[in-house]
Amino acid sequence: LTCQVMSRIEKLVVVGVGLIGGSFALALREHGVVKHVVGVGRSRENLDHALGLGIIDEAFTDAARAVPEADLVLLAVPVGQLPAVMLQMDKRLDPATVVTDAGSTKRDVIRHARQHLPKHLTRFVPAHPVAGTEHSGAAAAKRDLYRGKRVVLTPLPENDPAAIRLVRELWRDCGASVDEMSADAHDAVFAAVSHLPHALAFALVNLIVDHPLRDSLFSFAASGFRDFTRIASSSPEMWRDICVSNYDALLTELGAYERELQRFRHLLEAQDSPGIEALFKRARDAREAWLKGRASATKTK
Amino acid sequence: LTCQVMSRIEKLVVVGVGLIGGSFALALREHGVVKHVVGVGRSRENLDHALGLGIIDEAFTDAARAVPEADLVLLAVPVGQLPAVMLQMDKRLDPATVVTDAGSTKRDVIRHARQHLPKHLTRFVPAHPVAGTEHSGAAAAKRDLYRGKRVVLTPLPENDPAAIRLVRELWRDCGASVDEMSADAHDAVFAAVSHLPHALAFALVNLIVDHPLRDSLFSFAASGFRDFTRIASSSPEMWRDICVSNYDALLTELGAYERELQRFRHLLEAQDSPGIEALFKRARDAREAWLKGRASATKTK
């Protein structure tokens, strides 16, 4: 009972009403835990769209006007816009308001919060919902985006446990399972499994754009290429910010990947069939084991 | 009318009754253009499976016993097995029998044919159906695998035009559209759009297998990673053969890709946000234009 009272949100402010922020609002609305949703964004057109779709009830282009009396503020803008948004909010933020974010990198978000929301660190809970598609904007928001997905919290030492609890419960209300880890570990993990693959997919498309046989290549690219490069249709602005803000961890993974390619190159130059097969088999077996583990994890839920 | 008489196949031999060969047989059966299908394979278990599924009517483990009196022989085994299969067939092959293959590389298949089927070059038509999934074996065969897909023929100067016509018609009967190009152009194109992406996907999975944070990485890998690495679940043996047989073209593309990664690395080291965004945007825009072109090509079919 206490929990239900606690997670009742009178006023939710979503800064950045795109796929991530919009889906959060829709999921909480459906779950009946939020009353009034205020959207903040740069584009009036997207805000009107979000109003029309019933994602938000009220819209502002200035975060300062939106945040007073909020129970929760979700920052769901590209990381590069966070400092400006935090500066806008800072003066008008109620001390009781819990603030969280949805950024794909965590060390930089924490850096920004320490700099721009220094008086609010007890109630700023950094979070990363591991979900998304290559589509963006309010029109892409879906109420079930987070169902069965994972959310990582990287709480600050200063955090009020009640603030952490609230954020955790709301993500659970969205259907996600919630883990905690350090911001350092988070950024290393996602550099490898998410940020690097995006950079690799963008690079493959650019190889084709730059290729002398460009038109033939695009003409014969098939479903393998389509799936491999799906993530290269993601927002360039968002991924620019993620890469730059996590550049040290990403450079480490990029180096490791370049070494994997070197290993393959040497085997290929030597036309070493058994060596190449062993390399491929190792990857195939590991991926199959991973898929199997995912499937059984979903079943036991 | 003449065409229909011509494309009537009394006896089809499929060497390698897996996804590719099995789907070819199923599609032609459904289209009513084939009477008797003979399967050849190394694994008795897979052949029994193919018999049970109605993909083939008769099974042999030795190609020599299967090919006499065949109208068409489709070679659908990994490229590495081709020389042995061709040697088996050579003595028993009827001069009238048309032979084609389904290999992902073409220069090496032609090299093998010139060496091992030298008297049959008028009726050996090299072909590459651009289709497949990461699954393999007879159980994965689907009658509609080739519907809406493309098939590339790389005919030999020696080819009898009637043999080319037969192969072209049969692939059209499967629902595919058929193009011709030189074997050189074919191998360069597919090195970039297919062979390289497979190698890159295998390498990314191996990066994670080799990673000190391996368990966390697999635990947090999500749908972007899943799609990016889908092709890393492909047959290691098949892809070993493709890479080794097309190693020169693949090394060229690998070099171009390493340069794309270098370009990204320099921008990342300089934390050059506008440069990274421009790079990503270029890739995103090109991919979106490609998807749009594909969609409208499908519509006008």
Helices and strands, number each (H, E), in chain B: 14, 9
Q: What is the DSSP letter of B192?
A: I
CB contact under 8 A, A220 and B254: no
Q: Is A217 on the interface with B (CB under 8 A)?
A: yes
CB contact under 8 A, B207 and A256: yes
B59-78 pLDDT, tens digit per residue, is 999 999 999 999 999 999 98
Which has the closest alpha carbon to A99: A84, A113, A81? Answer: A113
Residue B135's pLDDT is 77
Residue A224's pLDDT is 81
Place of tokens 């047959």: B235
CB contact under 8 A, B200 and A228: yes
Tell me whether strands A150-153 and A127-130 are parallel, antiparallel or unpaired.
antiparallel
Place of tokens 């088999």: A281
Q: What band does B5 get if pLDDT is binned at 50, 70 and 90? A: very low
Strands (DSSP E) contained in chain B are: 9-15, 34-40, 58-60, 72-75, 98-101, 124-125, 127-130, 150-153, 177-180
Cα–Cα dist A247/B174, whole Å: 49
Specify burial of residue B98 (Cβ count, 10 A radius: 0-12, 13-18, 19+): buried
CB contact under 8 A, A290 and B210: no
User: Helix A161-173 and helix A19-30: axis angle, to 10°?
Assistant: 80
Helix (H) or strand (E) holding B23: helix B19-30
Scored b (16 or more CB within 10 A) or e, B186-202 reads bbbbbbbbbbbbbbbbb
- What residues of chain A lie within 8 A of the CB of B209, using their CB? 282-283, 286
CA distance A14 to chain B (A): 24
CA distance B11 to chain A (A): 31
B113-126 pLDDT, tens digit per residue, is 999 999 999 999 99
Residue A247 φ/ψ, nearest 5 degrees: -60, -35
What angle (nearest 5°) sits at the alpha carbon of residue A126, between those of residues A177 and B223? 45
CB contact under 8 A, A264 and B194: no
Q: What does each C-alpha distance from A151 to A20, A130, A196, A301 come to in angstroms?
A: 12, 6, 20, 16
CA distance A200 to chain B (A): 8
The encoded tokens of residue B181 equal 């190009």
Q: Is A297 on the interface with B (CB under 8 A)?
A: no
CB contact under 8 A, B231 and A224: yes
B10-59 pLDDT, tens digit per residue, is 999 999 999 999 999 999 999 999 999 999 999 999 999 999 999 999 99
Q: What is the pTM of this model?
A: 0.84
- What residues of chain B lie within 8 A of the CB of A198, using their CB? 224
Which has the closest alpha carbon to B217: A123, A185, A166? Answer: A185
Higher pLDDT, A32 or B222: A32
Which has the closest alpha carbon to A203: A265, A250, A266? Answer: A250
CB contact under 8 A, B286 and A205: yes
Position B200 pLDDT exceeds 90: yes
Q: Is B149 on the interface with A (CB under 8 A)?
A: yes
CA distance A296 to chain B (A): 13
Q: What is the DSSP letter of B152?
A: E
Residue B3's pLDDT is 47
Residue A1's pLDDT is 41
Position B2 pLDDT exceeds 70: no
Residue A132's pLDDT is 76
Contacts of residues B48-51 at CB distance under 8 Å and 24 or more positions apart, as own/partner, are B49/B137, B49/B138, B49/B139, B50/B17, B50/B22, B50/B138, B50/B141
B251-275 pLDDT, tens digit per residue, is 999 999 999 999 999 999 999 999 9
Position B160 pLDDT exceeds 90: yes
Cβ atoms of A208 and B193 within 8 Å: the answer is yes
Of A181, A203, A227, the CB nearest to B260: A203
Cα–Cα dist B268/B276, whole Å: 7
Cβ atoms of B97 and B71 within 8 Å: the answer is yes
CB contact under 8 A, A202 and B284: yes
CA distance B90 to chain A (A): 26
Q: Is B152 on the interface with A (CB under 8 A)?
A: yes
Q: What is the DSSP letter of B138?
A: G
CA distance A78 to chain B (A): 13
The encoded tokens of residue B226 equal 């899943």
Q: Is A60 on the interface with B (CB under 8 A)?
A: no
Cα–Cα dist B271/B269, whole Å: 5
Residue B299's pLDDT is 56
pLDDT along chain A (301 residues), means of 10: 60 96 97 96 94 97 96 93 94 96 95 96 97 82 95 98 97 97 96 95 96 93 86 90 95 98 98 97 96 74 44
User: Helix B196-209 and helix B247-269: axis angle, to 10°?
Assistant: 60
Residue B131's pLDDT is 87
Q: Is A200 on the interface with B (CB under 8 A)?
A: yes
The encoded tokens of residue B73 equal 């022989």
CB contact under 8 A, A192 and B209: no
Find the closest chain A residue to B181 by CA distance.
Answer: A216
- What residues of chain B lie within 8 A of the CB of A234, using their CB? 284
Span B133-143, average pLDDT: 86
